[in-house]
Amino acid sequence: MKVEDYIRTIPDFPHEGIMFRDVSTLFGDPRGFRMAIDLLLHPFTGQRIDHVAGIEARGFILGGAIAHQLSVGFIPVRKKGKLPWKTIEQDYKLEYGEAIVEVHEDAAKPDDKVLIVDDLLATGGTAEAAIKLIRRLKADVVGSAFVVDLPDLGGRNRLQTLDTPIHTLCSYAGE
């Protein structure tokens, strides 16, 4: 089986015309989840990784499992106001407006190697903000890994301008 076989597609969610790619079915299947974690890690095998940064919320599930697999630390990239200590923040554009994500200011040290993880690469705004946050900590982003790529939304192109490897497990045309 392939990763796509474990992902449920829900038409017209959250609104008409959207084909929602539900990775909860992937997470809920032990073989599928294990396969996804192994495949997300594969291109980074043999590289030094000190932390995995998971983007809220489903990136926490993947990132936590990958950090455990590598025996490294986990960095939560959270929406503004959700972290309890001193943070740095990065804003990014949404379809209608802006949002802000943040990390603790001591989440990584200079020259630490960090892998960014999330479930879905759509427009790339949140992932771009996460990469910028990690770089502001003077850590190195070794790459970014996603289960699903929606290439028509331009996220891959956006991240390619940041000169960091991008790894996805499957892609779906359209939204």
128 among known catalytic residues:
no
- Alpha-carbon distance of 80 to 35, in angstroms, equals 32
Roughly how many angstroms between the first and final C-alpha of the chain, as a whole number?
Answer: 24
Catalytic residue among 21, 48, 95, 135: 95
Task: Assess contact for 9 and 22: CB atoms under 8 A.
Answer: yes
The beta strands (E) that lie in the chain are given as: 8-11, 19-22, 51-55, 73-79, 87-94, 97-104, 113-121, 140-149, 166-171
105 among known catalytic residues:
no
Q: Helix count (H) and strand count (E) of the chain? A: 5, 9
- Alpha-carbon distance of 136 to 10, in angstroms, equals 37
Catalytic residue among 21, 34, 48, 58: 58
Which residues does residue 164 pair with via DSSP β-bridges, in sequence order?
A: none
Active site residues: 58, 95
